[in-house]
């Protein structure tokens, strides 16, 4: 009796896991993303301890994120020009050596804020290649019918890493300090390297014969902007990432100002990750186009509204509740939106279009994390959360007046379309 109920549920929510190479990609992504989010917290805590400046925490976070505003077009070109699995392996290896250098300097007491920011910039650069190659590769590993589920589960590894990464480094952070936490992140990158080297699938895109990198990028950019569905989705995703997902700078500051302990930022990030796991799992079995559209609308509005819980919180349990709600709604929104974008992108230029999406996601998050650091100093961290949360909720309501988005919400437009 139990097996007859459990089997269809597993098939619906985890069907992509039957593909061997997808399992390795997802596990490798979990390791790499866990290391990244753990580094965000550990670096933020260290900078705050060294300087007492939330603005400099914002600068360090900005440095780790801003490459996603600059490098994804190049990463997308490489993911279409070369074997995507090879690009992914190289990206993980470079991240491993980067964090190993960070840990070594920290243990030797030679790490300055300037060096930390420079290494953050390099780490973010390598991660831009990692994420672009991963998202371009995933649709090559599963059937088009399982694409939404695969993208949702890959998003699960990204968002769940907000829980796993901080949780795994928590003992090192509290017992050995940030130096030990950095070393733990290096171990996570080793896991990613091992997993990705086990992938058998080889795939590349297709560039116009004789076209250089600039021409190839212009071709993909023109295609993305001329498609009305991709265009409005990119704009909505940009606003979502800018206003609801740029909280990495805010968490250490809120933990210090409201909760009186900056290391509680690690706990709040874990709450975001836990909520993200629930949110992505809840929508991973969705198959109807009209259901996806309504989920996009509802989770978008709730992404802004959930920030108000964190803005009002004055104790750790309430703050964790707000952080968890943010993680659940934001992850569900990004999983649905990401599936729509990937499904609409032809495989021949999926790497480049994925690169453009990462500019939108990473660039807006990088800039707003920098702005939020200075804004928290100027008007207070709770006020920043109020402004951003109410602002994005209002934008989602207003988006109902935009024809292409309204059609997507209603499921009238063919979203997601068959994978290229």
Interval 152-169: pLDDT, tens: 777 777 767 777 777 777
pLDDT in tens, 254-276: 877 777 776 677 788 778 878 88
- Say how far apart CA 327 and CA 391 lie, in whole Å: 18
Q: What is the pLDDT of residue 420?
A: 35
Q: What is the pTM of this model?
A: 0.68
- Average pLDDT over every residue of 381-387: 87
- Say how far apart CA 88 and CA 196 lie, in whole Å: 7
Does the pLDDT at position 243 exceed 60?
yes
Q: Beta-carbon neighbour count of residue 306 at 10 Å? A: 25
Q: List Cβ neighbours of 356 (8 Å cut-off, separation of 6 or more).
A: 72, 73, 76, 220, 221, 224, 234
Going by pLDDT thresholds of 50, 70 and 90, the confidence category of residue 207 is low
Check residues 59 and 370 and name the one with the higher pLDDT.
Answer: 59
Q: What is the pLDDT of residue 119?
A: 92
Going by pLDDT thresholds of 50, 70 and 90, the confidence category of residue 290 is low
Three-point CA angle 420, 74, 160, nearest 5°: 70
Does the pLDDT at position 92 exceed 90?
yes
Q: What is the pLDDT of residue 8?
A: 53
Q: What is the pLDDT of residue 1?
A: 41
CA distances to 248, 263, 306, 386, 408 from 380, in Å: 15, 19, 18, 10, 37
Mean pLDDT for the chain? 80
Q: List Cβ neighbours of 291 (8 Å cut-off, separation of 6 or more).
A: 411
Of 397, 390, 263, 275, the closest CA to residue 325 belongs to 275
Of 419, 160, 211, the closest CA to residue 168 belongs to 160
Q: How many angstroms from the chain centroid is the CA of residue 4?
A: 35
Q: What is the pLDDT of residue 287?
A: 62
CA distances to 111, 216, 287 from 411, in Å: 53, 32, 12
Contact between residue 189 and residue 31 where contact means Cβ atoms under 8 Å apart: yes
Lowest mean pLDDT among 151-165, 188-202, 290-304, 310-324: 151-165
- Average pLDDT over every residue of 216-221: 70
């Amino acid at each position: 009796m139990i097996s007859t109920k459990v089997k269809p549920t597993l098939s619906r929510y985890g069907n992509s896991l039957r593909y061997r190479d997808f399992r390795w990609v997802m596990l490798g992504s979990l390791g790499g993303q866990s290391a990244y989010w753990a580094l965000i917290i550990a670096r933020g805590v260290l900078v705050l301890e060294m300087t007492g400046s939330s603005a400099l925490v914002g600068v360090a976070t900005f440095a780790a994120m801003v490459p996603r505003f600059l490098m994804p077009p190049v990463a997308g070109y490489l993911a279409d020009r070369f074997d995507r699995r090879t690009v992914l392996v190289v990206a993980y290896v470079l991240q491993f050596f980067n964090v190993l250098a960070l840990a070594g300097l920290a243990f030797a007491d030679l790490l300055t804020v300037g060096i930390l920011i420079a290494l953050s910039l390099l780490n973010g650069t390598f991660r831009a290649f990692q994420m672009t190659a991963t998202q371009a590769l995933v649709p090559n590993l599963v059937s088009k019918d399982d694409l939404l589920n695969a993208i949702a589960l890959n998003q699960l590894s990204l968002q769940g890493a907000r829980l796993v990464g901080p949780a795994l480094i928590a003992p090192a952070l509290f017992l050995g300090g940030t130096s030990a936490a950095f070393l733990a992140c290096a171990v996570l990158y080793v896991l990613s390297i091992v997993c990705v080297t086990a992938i058998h699938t080889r795939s590349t895109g297709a560039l116009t014969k004789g076209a250089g990198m600039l021409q190839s990028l212009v071709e993909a950019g023109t295609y993305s902007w001329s498609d009305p569905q991709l265009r409005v989705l990119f704009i909505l995703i940009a606003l979502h990432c800018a206003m609801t997902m740029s909280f990495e700078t805010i968490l250490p500051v809120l933990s210090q100002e409201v909760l009186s302990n900056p290391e509680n930022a690690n706990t709040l990030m874990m709450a975001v990750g836990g909520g993200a796991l629930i949110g992505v799992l809840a929508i991973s079995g969705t198959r109807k186009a009209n259901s996806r559209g309504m989920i996009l609308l509802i989770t978008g509005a709730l992404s802004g509204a959930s920030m108000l819980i964190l803005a009002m919180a004055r104790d750790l349990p309430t703050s964790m509740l707000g952080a968890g709600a943010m993680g659940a709604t934001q992850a569900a929104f990004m999983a649905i939106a990401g599936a729509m974008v990937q499904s609409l992108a032809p495989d021949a230029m999926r790497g480049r279009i994925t690169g453009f999406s990462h500019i939108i996601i990473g660039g807006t998050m990088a800039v707003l994390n920098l702005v939020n650091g200075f804004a928290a100093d100027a008007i207070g961290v709770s006020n920043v959360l109020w402004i951003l949360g109410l602002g994005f909720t209002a934008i989602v309501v207003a988006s109902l007046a935009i024809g292409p988005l309204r059609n997507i919400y209603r499921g009238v437009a063919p979203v997601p379309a068959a994978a290229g």
